[in-house]
Amino acid sequence: MPVTTRVPLAKRPRDLAYFFFFLIHIPTTLLVDAQPLYPSWAPSFLSSLPKYYVDMSNDPLLGSALGFYGEARRQTYNWFRWFLIMEVFFQLPVFVLALRGLWRGTTSIYLLLLIYGASTATTTLACIADVVATPVTPTPTRTPVVTITPEQQLLLLSSYIPFFLVPFIIAIDMAFRLHKLVTVKAANVKTD
Nearest alpha carbon to residue 120 among 77, 81, 157, 83: 83
| pTM: predicted TM-score of the whole model, two decimal places | 0.90
Residues 6+ apart with CB under 8 A from 3: none
For the chain, state the CA radius of gyration.
Answer: 20
* pLDDT per residue as tens digits for the range 72-88: 888 889 999 999 999 99
Question: Could you give the dihedral angle defined by the CA atoms of residues 171, 172, 174 and 178, in that order, rounded to the nearest 10 degrees?
Answer: 130
* Three-state secondary-structure class, residue 59: coil
* pLDDT per residue as tens digits for the range 134-162: 999 999 998 888 999 999 999 999 999 99
The confidence band for 192, taking pLDDT boundaries of 50, 70 and 90, is: low
Residues 6+ apart with CB under 8 A from 8: 105
